[in-house]
Amino acid sequence: MITPSQANFSVCGVFNCGATIYNKQIVLLLRVAESYIQDDPTKVIVPQIDPQTKKTIAISFDKTDSRYDFSDSRVIKKHKTTVALTSLSHLRRAYSDDGINFVIDDKPWIEGDDITEIWGVEDPRITKISNNYFITYTAVSNLGIFTNLIKTTDFFSFERLGTLFVTDNKDVAIFPEKIKGKYQTYHRPVPTDIGTPNIWLAKSPDLIHWGEHQKVLTVKDEGLTKGRVGAGAPSIKTPFGWLQIYHVADATNNYHLKALMTDLTDPAKIIAKTHQPLLKPERDYEQNGFFKNVVFANGIIERETEFIVYYGAADDKIAAAKIKKADLYERLGFKND
């Protein structure tokens, strides 16, 4: 049971977690979405962060006001522009010895802080480099969708390192080591007019300043004319290349997960890709929820013979799936000798 962070809040979803190992435990960084308990049927009260006080404030919308569109339970729109989210997300820690049973913090660990985060922080990805854990996450506000970065060594204290990619950009998954002397990451710009949301690669000397962008995988590569593709958890180094389990969404927002392998020295070069989904919404908890037919993985744990994939199901819960390394490699066309 997830405890709401405030007495007048209810938890409307726990999903899309980052994952890593710290002190021999599996640590998940949960995205917890909360909304105000709605007592007045004529109004919608939404939470936001005041960047000056760092406190949550309530914004009220009148349901009878014809200027606003309340048809999507996730957002409030005015003239087709999103003016508010109905929930506010923060990041919360969970710990486990076996990967199944978790002890979850009662309070948020990372909350919205500056003007890029007043509508919440979402979808963390954790990359361990040396003794540091770098956490990329989506920052949402009326200014758009950013990707920000935090660094921690102990999952207690942390340092905010600022914005890496400005609007609209998300699905940022940093590689766990330098490649040819540079840090590298996948990212996913979101065009609003021309083009589709595709996976790109960027390089950096310091994890802060990014450039040398290269196209990696497009919606068209997946046989779609509309939709989106995006990186999942940070790529994992294997004997065959860099393994990336990514998501694909079609024009009707049905998601599935697939895998690709890239060259170890050039992560923009795809050398293998699964033809069929690794995971698609088939169970009731994947097909029904806050947003139907979604499986979204941004946390993977590598074990000796298998991977544990932690994924968001229907945008309101977390599930786990295991796959044997040998089976996944074989689906990509590789065999262990």
Distance (Å, whole) CA 113 – CA 235: 28
Sheet containing 81-85: give its strands across. Answer: 68-69, 75-78, 81-85
Amino acid 337: pLDDT: 63
Distance (Å, whole) CA 294 – CA 26: 24
Q: Which domains does the chain have, with CATH numbers?
A: 10-35+87-331 (2.115.10.20)
Instruction: Round the average pLDDT of the chain to a whole number and report it.
Output: 97
* pLDDT tens figures, 144-199: 999 999 999 999 999 999 999 999 999 999 999 999 999 999 999 999 889 999 99
- Give the helix ranges, DSSP H, for 166-223: none
Nearest one of 301, 183, 181, 331 to 236, comparing CA atoms: 301
What tens-digit pLDDT sequence spans the chain (337 residues)? Answer: 899 999 999 999 999 999 999 999 999 999 999 999 999 999 999 999 999 999 999 999 999 999 999 998 899 999 999 999 999 999 999 999 999 999 999 999 999 999 999 999 999 999 999 999 999 999 999 999 999 999 999 999 999 999 999 999 999 999 999 999 999 999 999 998 899 999 999 999 999 999 999 999 999 999 999 999 999 999 999 999 999 999 999 999 999 999 999 999 999 999 999 999 999 999 999 999 999 999 999 999 999 999 999 999 999 999 999 999 999 999 999 987 6
DSSP letter assigned to residue 234: P
Q: How many helices (H) and strands (E) does the chain have?
A: 2, 25
What DSSP element (H or E) covers 331? helix 325-331
